[in-house]
Structures are given as structure tokens and as C-alpha cells.
Amino acid sequence: MRILFISSEVTPFAKTGGLADVAGALPRALKRLGHDVRILLPYYQCVEERGFQTEKIPLSAEVSIGGESRRTLLRRLEMDEIPVYFIDHRPYFYREGLYGSPAGDYPDNAQRFALFCRAALAFLPKLDWRPDVVHLHDWQTGLVPVLLRSGLRNDPFFSGLATVLTIHNLGYQGLFPPEILPAIGVDRSLFSIDGVEFYGKVSFLKGGLVFSDLLTTVSPTYCSEIQTPQMGFGLDGVLRARTADLFGVLNGIDTEQWNPALDAAIVSAYSPADLRGKGRNKRALQKELALTPSSSVPIVSMVTRLDTQKGLDLVQEAWEALMQRNLQFVLLGSGEEKHTRFFATVRNRHPGKVSINLGFDDALARRIYSGSDLFLMPSHYEPCGLGQLIALRYGALPLVRATGGLADTIVDPLQDAARANGFAFADASVKTLLSTADRALVRYADRRNWLKMVRRGMSQDISWKNSAQRYLELYVRAQEKRRDG
């Protein structure tokens, strides 16, 4: 099968979150299953700054945005024998951030990603390669199915092209004023309840939800949650109307990239069969981060975006009570100013017990995973979550709120002792967070059962193999739906 991934970010070229990890890892898993996969994303400034050597393809496309004809170029490289194409339009994509600056989103994001979508479709017929399925990701690609089913619906090259749109986070919808319609080349007739209109605004995501052949989310529980008024961000009605075409497929992780037996960034290799290296990594992390050396005190860590969605408000409210527990706390992350300010304030109040690291460092993140005992994710909602999967792989037991993909991947001893791989609580409250933390600390003191849970988590198959197979089934289903009209 020929599969084209269109995504606004792809690891290792450009990343702000889990979307990039999926768009980088799933194509490789599909390639290993014998399929012809290609990837298309914008040519951002960071791609060049990170030293990726792309070749210019002698092709160009003129795209009309805002009444002006804008020339776009195409670049290419190969990643693990997968062709990766980049839409090159420097006025829009050669910027420091992917979507905005510290001051906020770029004001021309509608034009930027309309150009991306339109250029992607303009280049396709020029590549001498026609995909069977186009796999789209989040609002930034939402105009692709809109364009395919409107202006291009009678074009023989595009008419039979099946589309699958994956929702990585429904909270990001690509909302813009209706005045943007002429600038992005979308007919005013599509500004309706059955089109891209959403409470008086243009929604790129809604366009994708309405016009894609199939829809997926990144976990089964999140698939159910977003069809409720509580977690549907106003789109629950649209999603319920398409429930027959909506599927939850749990993300995996790249188990070659995330492997404590081979990870060069950590101090000592280890595996489920031999956990001695994990203890050495813990001691090294305590030394690196000026924590009091101790094997009997568990390290509780967070590697996270500092965003209220991630439950940072619960952590802040529970902070003083957490500090009274026999634990050490490590945080690595950046994000919202109010959370950054809080952790900057408390970082020096508990020497030897707390290490707050504001910013992001991939190598340090790996050392934190490898040296931690518990990994905290008290998210208010979590479409899938990759942190808990990486933590399992590195033998840090996740302590999570049971929502979205966290509910699908973490089993509490109170649920099923024989399958337990972490700790989970349902209520988004400080009381339940602390009581669950206390249960985890009691279990940590029971070394035999603790290590049994650690080994169980590390031995789980959390690769992309099963998920890739499920996506292939959905690609076939999308093709059948497209053929049936």
C-alpha cells in the first residue's frame, strides 16, 4: 500500500509534542511491514539549523494565498529508506518557532497552514507517485480533505484518494475569523454548520472532521471521552455524528530509540533481567542534581510541558503535602508562565530533596527516566501520553490520573494485582493524588512486589507493531468507504 503522511511536525526534524513522535515512528513501523510510505512537512528554520541535508527537487508550485501567488519549492531527504518531502516557503516557515513565539501564536497561522495544505496537494501530481491513502494529523492539515472534497472532487487524480485524520489533541482546533476564507482559498459556501463553520469562526480541524473518510484518536478511551460534552471542546456533536467512522488506536513508542539496554545518554545499561544498572543510574542522577544520596528514598519525577492540562495545578496545590512525604522530586519542562513561576519559586526551598530544571534537554530527560522510581502524570486529560510509556520502558512506575491513554495503559494494583504496572486515580483532586502517592510509597518499601511491577512494565510490548497493523486495517476501510462514495 502507498501511504502519504502529511504532518506539521515530525521527529527528528521538528517537534513541539507527541504528534511529532507519532508522525516519525508510525511511518517506520509501516515501512517495516513492507509498505511504501512517504512523509511531507514544512521546511522550518529548525530543520536547517539541526543540520539535515536536504536536496532541492527541481519542482515548484504556485499557491494563491491572500490573493497573491506564492511560489513554493520542494526539498527531499531519506529517513530509514522513507522519502521525506519538505514544503519550502521561507516567508512562512523560516521562523524560530513552529506555531508562534513566546508572545503567542503567529497571527498568520491560517495563511501558513493553508499554504502548506494547498502546496502539498499541488506537488502530489508532480511526484510520479500517487498514494492510496493520505494520513493527516491535527488541525494544521485539516484543509486537505476540505479541498479534496470541494474544489478537487472531480479531478481524476484526487477523486479516489482516501483520507484518514488523526486527532492528537482536540483542544487545538485552528480557529480563525471568517474573514480569512478568501485568503485561504476556501469557498464561502463551506462556511456552514456542515462545513468549516464553528460558532462563528472558521475551524480547520472541524473541516477535517467533516470531510475525512475516517477519523482516529490516539487511544480508545480518548475516543470515547471526546464524544461527551465534558471533553468534546464543542465538537462532541460532530464526533458523535461520525461515530461509525471514528476509531481509537493506542500509540506505541519507538522501542529502539527508547531502550535502557542501549541508551548512550544514561550512565549504566540495564534490562528487566538485570536491574542493577537502574540503581547506578539513580545514584548518578542524585549526584548530578544535588539530591541527597539514598537508595531507600524514591525519586518521583515529571518530564512534562508545564501546562494546566498536565495537572500542574494539582501538583502545585499538593506541593507542601508532597514535601512532607519521604520522597525526592525532580521536574524537567517548560511552558506556561504561571507554572514556570511557581516552580522557579520553590526550586531552592528544599535542598537535597527537590530538583527543578526549567527548559528541555533530551539527554537529561533520559537520565531522569532511568534514575526515577515513580513518574507522575496527573493529567486532566491525556489523548494518549508518551511519557508513561517511556517511563514503563525505563522501569519508572507511572502514577497517573486515569484518563485517555493513561487509563488504557496503566493498571493499578487495586484493579488487577496480576497485571499491575503503575498507580492510577480517577478524581482530579489533591486528596486522591496524595492518597495514591501514599499507596505507591508503601509499595516501594515492599521491594519484592515493587520490582515485580517494574519488570512487568519493562517487559510489555509497547512498540508500534500492533498499532501499525490496526492502522493498515483502517486504511483499507477508508479506501472502501471512498470507493463506495
Residue type (1 letter), 450: W
Distance of CA 475 to the CA centre of its chain: 21
Task: Identify the structural domains of the chain with CATH numbers, from first to last.
Answer: 2-252+465-483 (3.40.50.2000), 276-459 (3.40.50.2000)
Pair 82, 27: CB distance under 8 Å: yes
Exposed / middle / buried, residue 47 (Cβ in 10 Å: 0-12, 13-18, 19+): buried
Cα distances (angstroms) measured from residue 162 to each of 68, 118, 133, 194, 462? 30, 17, 5, 20, 28
Residue range 217-227: mean pLDDT, rounded: 97
Distance between CA 308 and CA 304 in Å, rounded? 11
Residue type (1 letter), 125: P
Q: What is the pLDDT of residue 50?
A: 94
Distance between CA 170 and CA 269 in Å, rounded? 38
Return the half-sphere exposure (C-beta side, CA atoms, 13 A cut-off) of residue 323: 15
Residue range 157-165: mean pLDDT, rounded: 95
Pair 89, 73: CB distance under 8 Å: yes
Q: What is the pLDDT of residue 304?
A: 95
User: pTM of the entire structure?
Assistant: 0.93
Distance between CA 78 and CA 84 in Å, rounded? 6
Q: Give pLDDT tens digits for 174-203.
A: 999 999 999 998 999 999 999 999 999 999
* pLDDT level of residue 481 (50, 70, 90 thresholds): very high
Residue range 77-97: mean pLDDT, rounded: 96
Distance between CA 252 and CA 463 in Å, rounded? 5
Q: Is the pLDDT of residue 424 over 80?
A: yes
Q: Give pLDDT tens digits for 95-130.
A: 999 999 878 899 999 999 999 999 999 999 999 899
Q: What percent of the chain has pLDDT over 90?
A: 95
Residue 298 makes CB contacts below 8 A (sequence gap 6+) with 326, 327, 328, 373, 374, 440, 441, 444
Q: Give pLDDT tens digits for 333-373.
A: 998 999 999 999 999 999 999 999 999 899 999 999 999 99
